[in-house]
Structure 1
């Protein structure tokens, strides 16, 4: 089995789908690894490091020649994969629902038409067995951390309380909206920097998680829909009554905050709107909002993808592809996710992965097979 690791072609994508660590592990399984020259450059990994780990280094054509398995961070253009083996597997983040600037159903259809078997890692089921394979969790963890650092860079004041001879500097007030993996890491990071942190989520089960990190939970009480628990541990859509009560609560709280970080996403859907223009207008000039959902439409009215917008004197940070802003660590975690997934299905006798049709993980991530789109979520 030849595994190809490609240099990412999406603008601004600095991550890479394999590191020297995972190259060594794949070689130990008996695979041949080919890495496109310069693939790890943006993640501070030199070609020589891959070569020392046992990889073959070459141009794109040489890397793809005869490859039965293609690794990527984002889904490669099907037209750019000439020379790979018939029926090759593509294992990457493929964005099959087309939410955001890249990906979509048209690309999935193109994979099927070209005979590729596409496996979308972001559709990994959230089950115990698949935790080490979950790219959304590993990348969101870093995004939550980076969001706080980006907020600190834009905020014109200090985070911690400082008592000096010239007087006291008050601690920054940070409000995190959405307490998934990214939100929890944002809370922890802001707390480590000395901020006064509060957080909210539609899932009542997150209250204890917020408190365990030393933050103050802000929750709507006694309103239908407070549970908010969707499938797979994600938040679901709320009742109209709950949405109205939440908007009122947030409006009162947000006006007192220095920094707000929003992280709310619904799989396969546009991000829910959490903060309106009217709410932004109540915030103090110089306040900062970081919208981690901007690539899926944004949680914040006025957020601009790839820019820092200034609305009513508030800086709204809309950086695209936040994990890529920590390319070295993001690549290390992402590549381990891919290796853990493939290793779990690796057949040593066959010298390649074997993906059982009845396996829950395989059913979750498989998009195309035998020239057809087969994923139930795309066919429903």
Structure 2
């Protein structure tokens, strides 16, 4: 079979490879379509995130076949593995990009997309879809799809799922003003998802007017080109000076991080997706610090008060204060290790299992 093989930055070769033979715990699929993600382009260009530098190890493996936005037809597999994935020979499937280990803390909690080893098709340990055939292991997540879906549309399921995941994590509300930065494939998917949540306003940002026209077709109520208008003044003018309730970052560019921090309304926690780069972390740290202070001082909501009144009427004791401590973020590390350590802490949540320092950022309120 023919396959694209990654050897080094800007050294990807079209080669003849033998068709892989699946083991008893593997599926063999014939690839119908594979998408080219921005991460594929960055890996090709030699980005340090993939090939490493003085601050990080290499993540990709030379000799791997790239491609992680994949759809194909099942051509071979044992009865056991077919039953495991819920498919039959001849079925069309899409596969998720990650191959979770099933054993780390995140997988055990059901957050397999945060898997600690984070093996992915097309980068390390598992060949991707830029070949005529590929292996789908038992640990992979495969989903059967209709035979009526065009292959190029089916391959879009992976980036679209990223968009939908971001929208779900943002927990949109009816009165929200939602800003989505970037109107590429993931941004357009986020616009579609956000519009279906029916917030007050969906605003799309992009430097490309043609993409902004697509954003309108996908459900954006307003489109802004930062090269032509002052987006800060426009959005503050629309919100009475408060800013956006939700900011979802879909560009992958470092400059979009401080942009989101400056656009976000101060009274709301920052929600959405931020692709944080090391040199941009200071603003995020400051923002999380401020949000932690606000959350600590936030009064109870009416629903919480009603629940407490009902508990009192029915004789249930009130929850102990020490079981529900306020959010008090701890001091974060300074210096060049900030980016690496903060990313690790953010993956673990705002309450890390071991505080970095015992000195609180916010003094106790009287």
Normalization by structure 1: what TM-score? 0.38
